[in-house]
Every structure is written in structure tokens, then in C-alpha cells.
Structure 1
Amino acid sequence: MPRVNITAIAVGSEVLTAIPNAAPVLVPAMNYLHKALVASLLNHQVKVSAPQSMDVIAKSFPPSTATFNSSWNSTIFQILQFLRNTNSYYMLNAYPYYEYVHSDGIFPIEYALFQPLSAVKEIVDPNTLFHYESMFDALVDATYNSIGALNFSDIPVVTETGWPWDGDSKEPDATKENAGTFNNNLIRRVSNDTGPPSQPKNPINTFIYEMFNENKKPGSISERSWGIFSTNGSEVYPISLGSPGGISGNFSKLFCVAKPGADENKLQDGINWACGQGHANCSAIQSGQPCYFPDTLQNHASYAYNNYYQRMRSLGGTCDFDGTATITIQDPSSRTCKFTGSSSPGGGVFPSATFGPIGQISRSSTIRSPVFVYTVVVSLALLMLDVNVHFIF
């Protein structure tokens, strides 16, 4: 992945609550990965963390008295020590949707959606008298206070969040309207460059979950309905990334390319179909034409797949090609070969900026859509540990 800017490695996802028997190997896994990064001189560029759910916090409200569940204190303490020693950050999965649903009406829906609250609905921490305008801010503050309760005060928090756009009959609040309201208001909130009430000088760093729906995920309809894009690249609901505050890029620019290492016979079949029955314009990958080089099946397949996808996605065309294709935001164009859909004559819709958390991330607020934060799951078998690793880039 030579054009991918990897800035973080997330070891598992909510390991302590999802697979608690793996807790003893979590911090060793993080240490193994960090040592590998040090050996490769990448430890300043790529950070290691372990995302946790809000369930590791015993009681999140009021935020001022929030603490980690005592049964996890030993492991959490080790994690925080590792994060401080490696200048990394605590990765939090905070979903106001779930907190609102489980509150059984204690909190108003406006509070969960970043909407204005009337005087009678204002949420106030009785100990600090901090006014919380959103549940998201309260969850982030509860996490900072839980970290502080273990005597760690210098670890920034990076938050994953989102809202489902569809649900079954028992999930009336999982709607496109609410999902759009939440994510657009989240963008506006993070763009104001301030932190939660207890940490006003530490702007919130977050990314939206998620880019596409996980249509094979078990459970209720909402579990499969967090994506802001359909598989053909069209928006599920309108979302604006045009406001200032670290938001950059054109969300509509997606490219369909061949997967690295895809079976060559399938790639050839894909090229033949796209350039034939699929009516893609493949003249640019013919000998002597600007996209002929590099003369590889993967390069030619990427051009053919993308040409077909850009022409046909509005009519329902997808990016699959028997499992050999994938969607990317990385413009595959070069100086001599411009892929359909590219807005840059030299190749590259996006600037060469960092779209994942890196370095002293708390200095300015950043929001990262799932377009900017992909997750690739690989096995930790290489480390002889039964935990999954996620690369954030």
C-alpha cells in the first residue's frame, strides 16, 4: 500500500468487553507492535492503541464522578501506561445512539443529536455545574475523568462515533433524518476547535463510523445500517464536509480499483467483461495509449473497473468483479494517465495531508470520515496472540 498514510494501529476493537478472555494478551500485543515500529523507525509516525467501548466505564453520568469499572482497573492501568510512554492516545467508541436508547427516556433525543435544549431540559453535572449541550461531550468528558481517576492526565482521547440510519420496529430512532442530523451536527461541533467542558483547551478528535454498511453483520437491522454510502458509492443521506476545522477532501470522489494480489485469471475475466459487456471505454489501456503502462493486469483492471463503475454506478453498477475490486478514495491517476472521476490533471483528488490521528493530536480538532479512516483486519497469528489488529489510515 505505497500511497496509504497509516498513522495508527488499533489492536482489536472493544477487546475488554467483547472478548474479555483476551485481556491478558492485549497489552503484550500492543508492546509487540510498538517494538516492531521502533525497529522500523516508524514509532513517531504510527501510534498503537486499543479502542474500548463506554462499557468499561462503570457509570458515565455525571461525568465528574466517572471511573473505569474496577474489574478492569489493572488492565486499563497497563494500557494507559503504554499510551503515555509511547505518546499515543486513548481510542474510545462512544455512541450517543446506544446511550440514548438505554437511558429509557431519561435524556431527551435533542441531547443525543446535538440539538438545542430548552431550559427545562438542560443537562448539568451537579458536582461541577458544567452544562452539557450534547451527550457526545458528556461521554468524552466521562472518559477524560475516568482516565484522570487513575492519575493519568496527559493522554488525549480519539473518539469513534456515528448513528444508524435504519432499524427494525423496535428501533424507531434509527432513521436517515436522525443519522444525518447527528453526523452533520457532529461535524459542526468538532469544527469549533474546543474541547468538552472539563477540557476546553483540548479540541475533540473524532471519526465517523462508518463508510459503508456491513450488510452481513448479525443482529438487528441497525447493526447493518451505519454506513453513509451505499455499495454503489451514492450517499445514503446528505452530509456536509465543507465547513472548516480539519475537514478536507471531496467526499463524492470514489474510485473502483483492482484488489492487490487478486487472482490473475479473475482479473482478466473482469477486464474482458468491463471492456465488453460492461461497455467501459478501455481505449486508454491499449498499447501506445497513456494508461498502458505499467503493463500489468492489476493496472489495466483498475482502469477498466473504474471506467465501468463511474459510468454505471448511478444506474446500479457496483464495484465487485467477482471479489477482485474494491472502493478507494485514493486517486489512482498518474501524470500521464487520468482515471475517470479524477478532478486533478496530475492525479490526486486529495492533498498529501494526514487523515488519521498523528503526533500531538489534541492541538487542533479533527474529524475523520470513514472515507479517511479505513480499517483493515489482519490476524495477530504472527504475534502468536489471539487478538485482531486494525490499521487506521
Structure 2
Amino acid sequence: GQIADNLPSPTRVASLLQSIQISRVKLYDADPNVLRAFAGSDVEFIIGLGNEYLYNMTDPAKARAWIQTHVQPYIGRTKITCITVGNEILTGDDLQLKSYVLPAMQGVYSALQELGLTKQVTVTTAHSVGILGNSYPPSSGSFKPELAEYLQPMLNFHSQIKAPFLINAYPFFAYKDNPDEVPLDYTLFRPNPGMTDPNTGLHYDNMLYAQIDSVYSAIKQMGHNDIEVQISETGWPSKGDPDEIGASPENAAAYNGNLMRRIQRNEGTPGKPSEPINVHVFALFNENLKPGPSSERNYGLYYPNGTPVYNIGLQGYLPRLYIASNTHRTALEWHTLGLLLSFFTALIIFL
């Protein structure tokens, strides 16, 4: 989501992120204002191509033009490392759009090849965890059979270009939908009995790791052991409607804080213990105009004024705002508010 009218400018946000030592940022678009604001920084960017652009990206000329407009002018000073082509398309109802995903990914990658950028930038797409037909136990994870026709060639392409497989995973939804069966502590990385996979004997003390390993198992069922799974979105809302059980600042702080501690330890999942998890946390700011239930407007780590929504050790600094009399700013100047943070390498200040 990118809907709000009270957010700081990209330049001020760049200062905030660098003050809390964020190493990676994921955008839902390729906003030039944002990419310019981070020029010369060490922050790595995953930029996004919206679902509405997929058909155009199957045309080599249009794919090349997009890269020339949205990547090539900035990559010299801003670290763009990945392009996500579409978001959660395979769990939607648009069959035509599903058929465009892989050709669009291939079109974007071919354009990067032509322009000599594949050493810096890779191509992928993001999936909902809903692409899994079975997720329990993790060793029996499998994709929905009806998605095999899309996923098999897509996985072959991932393997060919060595691109990560991205999953959006929110244990919050599992708890909210079934609080009597899903232990809250299991979703929040708090001490709990956990579960043991009867096939492997591996013990899981949290749901997110089980979901990651379920995806690895599903990929293995389709013949691949050479594709990395990354979490492109996860998070926990600090507020929700009365029926959104579990949405609270205490639970949000527990989820993101405990996840951050594990990432700092370079922890892997039980199934991939030597491969540190790669996670992007949604989102930087609360989004006051986002439609839907209250939780959708309350995933942010910060209020728009730079104050933390809850304390997980991110003591950042949002520079004071100065507006020149001749400066025009629209309400949506910083319109990539669905900005995700990765604590994968550089966040080392948790106390």
C-alpha cells in the first residue's frame, strides 16, 4: 500500500533509514524521487513493476524502455539490486495476468542483459504464501496443483538466472483467523512448545520458519534445490478492528523485535540452518488513507513524524522539516509508503 497524505519527503526518509542503519529497502514502484534521495548511500533497493505493467513487459522494446527510464539513470549512484515483476499474481483470479508473469520476467531480464546490467540487477516476482496447497508438516510442503503450469517454468527460470523466490508471509493472519488453534507465542517467536516435523525430526519454534521451509519443500518437489527463498513481506499490525484478534502494539513489538534479534544472529531455518534468513519487514510508516480494515493502516514501525509506534530499539532520527516558500509539495510526494525494511545485514543497534 502507498496511500497517505502526511508523510515525510524522500530526502528526510533517507536520513531516517541511514540513522537506523537499514541495509535494504523494497519499494512497490520505481519512484525517481526516492532513488535520487538515496544516491551515494549504501542502501540496496528492490524496485517494483506493478501488475498493470506486465503485458507491456512481454514486448522487448517496452521492457527495454522501462529499464532505460527507471533503472539505467539511477544505478550509477543508487544500488538497485532487484526488480520484482508483479505482486501476488498467482493467487489472484486473472488467468490472463497469470500467463504474463513469466514472459514479463523474461522480457525485463532480457532488457537488462542487452544493457549490460545483469551483474548488478536480478529479476523475480513476489508470491503470497497462499500458493501453497499444503504447508504442514514443513517437509511435506507443496504448491497448489493448479499452479504447477505456471510455477514449473518459473522455477526453471529462477534457477537459470539465480534469482531468489519471494514469499509474502504474515503469521498474523493465521492467528487472527484461528486463535483457538494457532498459539500466539508460536507466531511471535516467544518461548513455546513448538512443533516437530514427524518426517524429519526437525523442531520449529515459530510459524515463519515453518512457512519458509514449507516453500523450500514445495520447490524441491518441483525438482529444484538451487533456489533461495526470501521473505519479501512480513510484519504485524499495532492496531486493528475489534474482530482483528492479536493486532496490538505489544504483539507487533514482540513479532518484529524477536524477528530482528534472530536476524542479527544470522539464524537459518531448521531446514536450512547454514543459510541466514533474508527478510523484509512491512512497513516503515503507518498509512492513514489505506482502505480496508484498521490493521491495514497500522503496520508501520514509525508515525509520519518519525516517532516509533513501539520500541524495538530503532532509535532513528528524522530531520526537521524546512519548507521554502517557493517549494511545491503534493500530498503524495512520498508515495512509496509501502516501503519494506530488511534487517538482513546492517541493523546492529538493537539494545
TM-score (norm 2): 0.71
Alignment equivalent of 1:86, drawn from 161, 173, 178 = 161
Which fold has the larger relative contact order, with Cα–Cα distance below 8 Å and residues 6 or more apart in sequence?
A: 2
Alignment equivalent of 1:166, drawn from 208, 214, 239 = 239
Q: Kindly tell me the number of residue pairs found equivalent between the two proteins.
A: 269
In 2, are the aligned partners of 1:11 and 1:26 still within 8 Å (CA)? Answer: yes
Residue correspondence of structure 1 range 372-383 to structure 2 within 5 A:
none
In 2, are the aligned partners of 1:356 and 1:368 still within 8 Å (CA)? Answer: no
Residue 101 in 1 paired to residue 101 in 2? no
Shift in alpha-carbon separation, 1:39–1:115, aligned structure 2, 3 A:
same
* Alignment-derived partner of residue 317 in structure 2: 252
**Could you tell me how far 1:201 is from its partner in structure 2?**
1.3
**Could you tell me how far 1:44 is from its partner in structure 2?**
1.6
In 2, are the aligned partners of 1:256 and 1:327 still within 8 Å (CA)? Answer: no
**Could you tell me how far 1:256 is from its partner in structure 2?**
6.0
Residues 77-107 of structure 1: CA deviation (Å, up to 9, x unaligned): 1221111111110011011111222344222
One-letter amino acid matched to 1:170: D
* Alignment-derived partner of residue 277 in structure 2: 204
SS class of match (1:366): coil
**Could you tell me how far 1:253 is from its partner in structure 2?**
4.3
Shift in alpha-carbon separation, 1:171–1:197, aligned structure 2, 3 A:
same
Residue 323 in 1 paired to residue 331 in 2? yes
Alignment equivalent of 1:220, drawn from 293, 297, 320 = 293
One-letter amino acid matched to 1:14: E
Deviates more, 1:185-194 or 1:49-58: 185-194
One-letter amino acid matched to 1:231: P
* Alignment-derived partner of residue 55 in structure 1: 130
The separation in 2 between residues aligned to 1:223 and 1:324, in whole angstroms, is 18
Shift in alpha-carbon separation, 1:11–1:254, aligned structure 2, 3 A:
farther
The separation in 1 between residues aligned to 2:196 and 2:94, in whole angstroms, is 34
The separation in 2 between residues aligned to 1:101 and 1:166, in whole angstroms, is 13
**Could you tell me how far 1:133 is from its partner in structure 2?**
1.0
* Alignment-derived partner of residue 184 in structure 1: 257
In 2, are the aligned partners of 1:255 and 1:327 still within 8 Å (CA)? Answer: no
In 2, are the aligned partners of 1:93 and 1:161 still within 8 Å (CA)? Answer: yes
In 2, are the aligned partners of 1:11 and 1:49 still within 8 Å (CA)? Answer: yes
In 1, are the aligned partners of 2:176 and 2:245 still within 8 Å (CA)? Answer: no
In 2, are the aligned partners of 1:58 and 1:66 still within 8 Å (CA)? Answer: yes
Shift in alpha-carbon separation, 1:256–1:42, aligned structure 2, 3 A:
farther
Residue 6 in 1 paired to residue 80 in 2? yes
The separation in 2 between residues aligned to 1:226 and 1:368, in whole angstroms, is 22
Q: Which runs of 5+ in 2 are unaligned?
A: 1-34, 40-77
**Could you tell me how far 1:123 is from its partner in structure 2?**
1.2
* Alignment-derived partner of residue 46 in structure 2: none
The separation in 1 between residues aligned to 2:286 and 2:209, in whole angstroms, is 26
The separation in 2 between residues aligned to 1:256 and 1:15, in whole angstroms, is 39
**Could you tell me how far 1:323 is from its partner in structure 2?**
3.1
Shift in alpha-carbon separation, 1:356–1:103, aligned structure 2, 3 A:
closer
Alignment equivalent of 1:271, drawn from 314, 321, 324 = 324
**Could you tell me how far 1:185 is from its partner in structure 2?**
0.3
The separation in 2 between residues aligned to 1:62 and 1:218, in whole angstroms, is 35
Q: Give the percent of matched residue pairs that are identical in Structure 1 and Structure 2.
A: 34
Shift in alpha-carbon separation, 1:190–1:324, aligned structure 2, 3 A:
closer
* Alignment-derived partner of residue 15 in structure 1: 89
Residue 130 in 1 paired to residue 182 in 2? no
Shift in alpha-carbon separation, 1:154–1:184, aligned structure 2, 3 A:
same
* Alignment-derived partner of residue 190 in structure 2: 115
The separation in 2 between residues aligned to 1:367 and 1:11, in whole angstroms, is 24
Deviates more, 1:231-240 or 1:138-147: 231-240
Q: Which has the larger radius of gyration?
A: 1
One-letter amino acid matched to 1:20: D
Q: In angstroms, what is the RMSD of aligned CA positions? A: 2.6
**Could you tell me how far 1:356 is from its partner in structure 2?**
8.8
Alignment equivalent of 1:366, drawn from 314, 322, 344 = 344
**Could you tell me how far 1:194 is from its partner in structure 2?**
2.7
**Could you tell me how far 1:367 is from its partner in structure 2?**
5.7
One-letter amino acid matched to 1:56: I
Shift in alpha-carbon separation, 1:31–1:368, aligned structure 2, 3 A:
farther
SS class of match (2:159): helix
TM-score (norm 1): 0.63
One-letter amino acid matched to 1:196: T
In 1, are the aligned partners of 2:302 and 2:308 still within 8 Å (CA)? Answer: yes
In 1, are the aligned partners of 2:305 and 2:318 still within 8 Å (CA)? Answer: no
In 2, are the aligned partners of 1:217 and 1:223 still within 8 Å (CA)? Answer: yes
